[in-house]
Amino acid sequence: MSAVVTLERVTRRYGELTALDDVTLSFPRGRFVAVMGPSGSGKSTLLNCAAALDPPTSGSVAIGGVDVTRLSEARRTELRGKHVGFVFQSYNLLPVLSVEDNITLPLRLAGVRPDRAWLAELVDRVGIGDRLRHRPAELSGGQRQRAAIVRALAARPDVVFADEPTGALDLRTASAVLDLLRDLVEDLGQTVVMVTHDPVAASRAHDTLVMADGRVVDVLASPRPEELAVRLTRLAMEPAA
Ligand SMILES: Nc1ncnc2c1ncn2[C@@H]1O[C@H](COP(=O)(O)OP(=O)(O)OP(=O)(O)O)[C@@H](O)[C@H]1O
């Protein structure tokens, strides 16, 4: 399995605090990987480093074979625009733009011509074809997240990072969005890395990384939600090293 994103001995410190502690891992192409762990264990820091948003204090990160730790801020921004997609808990859609303009905005900012056939396929797949001319406020939470998923995939990125993508959704809508993400991985070979606090959400991924104190302490293949819940409860009860 080829790796889309590779972290080699990545450490991220904030002053005295080590948020990410010598992490080496890779995200294989076409996998859906969940990242779990207690609050403060380093999940967001891992995501930010792996997505070239935040440079590590030491170690290296490669996306699509390019060592992003050696790039200038401007080149990292350019690389993200073309190779990395993002999905957030709060959707991050611009309220004044139509859904369609929201979807194509990152492409236009990155100077990439939208591939209309690809966008039509994505829109059709996620089922928001009749909502493109609406403003985000006129959509349900689930529809907004579907629009945000189309936006994330529009540039055919190497990898999509999703930070609590179902955190603001009710159970049924969340389940449908997770099905959609899993289908995009299975059918299109997309790579998705998802941070979540929800063991049920994580159980829909192929693999789950469990973090504690800035390290990856477990990699579980297709874990059951109960198994994850027990593991996380134990970690939350363990005193920090
Ligand atoms: N910009 C920052 N400045 C200083 N400390 C930070 C910064 N970002 C994160 N930290 C610290 O780094 C550690 C890891 O934070 P991180 O946000 O990665 O954890 P997390 O697992 O995502 O937590 P949560 O589940 O609560 O979002 C925490 O102790 C946090 O306080």
Neighbours of 229 (CB within 10 A): 17
Cα 17 to averaged position of ligand 1 atoms, centre (Å): 9
Cα 236 to averaged position of ligand 1 atoms, centre (Å): 16
| 28, 3 contact by CB (below 8 A) | yes
pLDDT, residue 239, reads: 66
The arithmetic mean of pLDDT across residues 141-169, rounded, is 94
- Answer yes or no: is pLDDT of 228 > 70: yes
SS3 content of the chain, % helix, strand, coil (to 5): 40, 25, 35
Q: What are the structural domain ranges in the chain? A: 3-237
pLDDT, residue 158, reads: 93
| 76, 84 contact by CB (below 8 A) | no
Q: Tokens 């990545």 — which residue?
A: 10
Cα 21 to averaged position of ligand 1 atoms, centre (Å): 13
Which protein residue has the closest C-alpha to ligand 1 atom 27?
39
Lowest-pLDDT range, 43-52, 68-77, 105-114, 120-129?
105-114
pLDDT, residue 211, reads: 97
Give the three-state DSSP class for 188: helix
Q: pTM of the predicted model, to two decimals?
A: 0.94
* 17 ligand 1 Cβ < 6 A: yes
pLDDT, residue 46, reads: 97
For the domain 3-237, what is the CATH code?
3.40.50.300
The arithmetic mean of pLDDT across residues 46-68, rounded, is 96
pLDDT, residue 240, reads: 60
Cα 96 to averaged position of ligand 1 atoms, centre (Å): 32
Mean pLDDT across the chain? 93
pLDDT tens per residue across span 79-107: 998 899 999 999 999 999 999 999 999 99
Q: Tokens 């957030």 — which residue?
A: 88
- Answer yes or no: is pLDDT of 131 > 70: yes
